[in-house]
Amino acid sequence: MIRIWTIAKREFVEGLRNRAFLLGAVLTPAILVGSLFLPTGLAEKLKPDRAAIAVSGGDRPLVEELERRVALYNERGVRPRYDVERLDGGLEAALEKAKPRLASGDLAVLLYLGDRLIEGDGTISLYYHTAGIAGAPKDLGRWAGDSVRRRRLVLSGARPEAIAKLDAPVKLDTKIFGDRGQVSVEEAVVARILVPVAAAMLLFIGIFSVSQLCLTNLIEERSGRVLEVLLASVSPLELMAGKILGNGMLGLAVCGFWAMLGVHVARGHGLAQTITPLQFVLLPTYFVLGFLLFAAFYCAAGSICETVKGAQALMLPLTLTATVPLMLGGTIAHNQSTGLARALSLVPPMTPFAMMFRLALPPGPSPLDIALSLASLTLGVAGAVWAASRIFRVGILLHGRAPGPREVWRWVSSRN
């Protein structure tokens, strides 16, 4: 045990001295948060200050009514502000003029107010080009429809006060309730989407970056011929155990740092209640079990491959399998207790990530689901460590040609 601890301590200390790893540990949460928030923020920043809307068809009062609604929108100060341009001469002529401008992005949209709209059987048409569609107002169709309805009321002889009353905006007040009372829309989005995604992603990144470190260290030791020196002092199993323990401690330290950072940020934004105590207990549990599973496989791969590339290629199917819960995140977020979500929680390479996702989604999985997932993951870990240790002890000293699947199977199944 002392030897295992000596190896573990070295792995831990060398990991902490590894600048690339430390940089990754610090930058990962920043990149993750950035990747969640940046698309929205960036899209807002990239919007132009002004954009043009061309209107064709319709009579003057209808177009003026539409302009009034656009002006009301512009008063909100949201980017971009819209300028309405009239294009005369019918739809064909308007399209001919508008097409090059739509293609260049100079014009966001062409709105055509068809004949007999007031009478009730005309059509409003919107013409976009992919170049400018991002800058077009998404409510333009509704504004045009509201303008038509208002014109109908005016022409029907309704009193202006009655029209004003009908047209007055209706205030909307949304209330969302969580497990511990009412929450804001922002909190609901964080609880429903951001926390599950962040928890599963952090677990994924934590497990794979540290398992990867295990692998690169092992390959370095193989190519640097240090392994045989070490094996004169420790058994192959002690070596593997020390590596897994040391890197596991490193991973726990990194994940602990991320978790503390997450709590600090959540508290700073008044969102601390979106993170539950159960998540705090189960995050390290799933991390440890998930890490043991993948580190065992990575150690086995590192013991039979001469290069990091070769070992990564060997591990690719397993890595891809582990990403399935992340790819199906939308489905799980919709309902975390579906058969699919529960099935994913019982397949060891996917268990930690599926469960972190589900745990972060209120009301969370049942105690039975948690117990079953932990049991299946523990069994998976036991099997993986057993098989990996048998591959490791033989593969570790082989050089040259990588063994084939049959040979590896013989190592695993041999009685010796």
The piece of 30-38, 305-313, 355-363, 391-399 that touches another protein (CB under 8 A) is: 391-399
Give one DSSP letter per residue of 130-194, joined into a string.
TTTGGGS-TTHHHHHHHHHHHHHHHHTT--HHHHHHHHSPPP----EEETTEEE-HHHHHIIIII
Among 103, 179, 397, 409, which residue sits at the site for another protein (rule: CB under 8 A)? 397
Hey, what are 345's tokens? Answer: 């929680």
Site string for another protein, 215-234 (x = CB under 8 A): ------x--xxxxxxxxxxx
Residue 187 vs 238, nearer CB to another protein: 238
Task: Give the residue among 375, 373, 338, 378 at the shortest CA–CA distance from 356.
Answer: 373
- Closest separation in Å from C-beta 300 to another protein: 16
CA distance linking residue 207 with residue 318, whole number of Å = 13
CB 304 within 8 A of CB 395: yes
Q: CB neighbours of 246 closer than 8 A, spacing ≥ 6? A: 7, 8, 9, 10, 11, 12, 15
- H/E stretch holding 221 reads helix 195-223
**How far is the CA of 292 from the CAs of 186, 227, 302, in angstroms?**
36, 21, 15
Hey, what are 209's tokens? Answer: 């970056």
User: What is the footprint of another protein within residues 229-288 (CB under 8 A)?
Assistant: 229-236, 238
Residue 307 vs 366, nearer CB to another protein: 307
Q: What does the chain come to in residues? A: 416
Residue 224 vs 367, nearer CB to another protein: 224
- Closest separation in Å from C-beta 353 to another protein: 33
- Closest separation in Å from C-beta 225 to another protein: 3
Does residue number 3 form part of the binding site for another protein (CB under 8 A)? yes
User: What is the footprint of another protein within residues 10-39 (CB under 8 A)?
Assistant: 10, 14
- Closest separation in Å from C-beta 23 to another protein: 17
- Closest separation in Å from C-beta 402 to another protein: 13
Amino acid letter, residue 330: G
Amino acid letter, residue 27: L
Q: CB neighbours of 193 closer than 8 A, spacing ≥ 6? A: 333
Residue 60 vs 401, nearer CB to another protein: 401
Among 129, 342, 390, 393, which residue sits at the site for another protein (rule: CB under 8 A)? 393
Among 36, 216, 407, 412, which residue sits at the site for another protein (rule: CB under 8 A)? 407
**Peptide bond connecting 80 to the previous residue in cis, omega within 30 degrees of 0:** yes
- Closest separation in Å from C-beta 228 to another protein: 4
Residue 56 vs 217, nearer CB to another protein: 217
- Strands across the sheet with 50-57, in order? 81-86, 50-57, 109-113, 124-127
- H/E stretch holding 85 reads strand 81-86
Helical axes 367-395 vs 236-268, angle rounded to 10°: 140
* Binding footprint of another protein, residue count (CB under 8 A): 26
Residue 240 vs 377, nearer CB to another protein: 240
Residue 187 vs 221, nearer CB to another protein: 221
- Closest separation in Å from C-beta 229 to another protein: 5
Helical axes 351-359 vs 195-223, angle rounded to 10°: 150
- Closest separation in Å from C-beta 28 to another protein: 24
- Closest separation in Å from C-beta 400 to another protein: 12
Q: Which residues bind another protein (CB under 8 A)?
A: 2-3, 6-7, 10, 14, 221, 224-236, 238, 393-394, 397, 407, 416
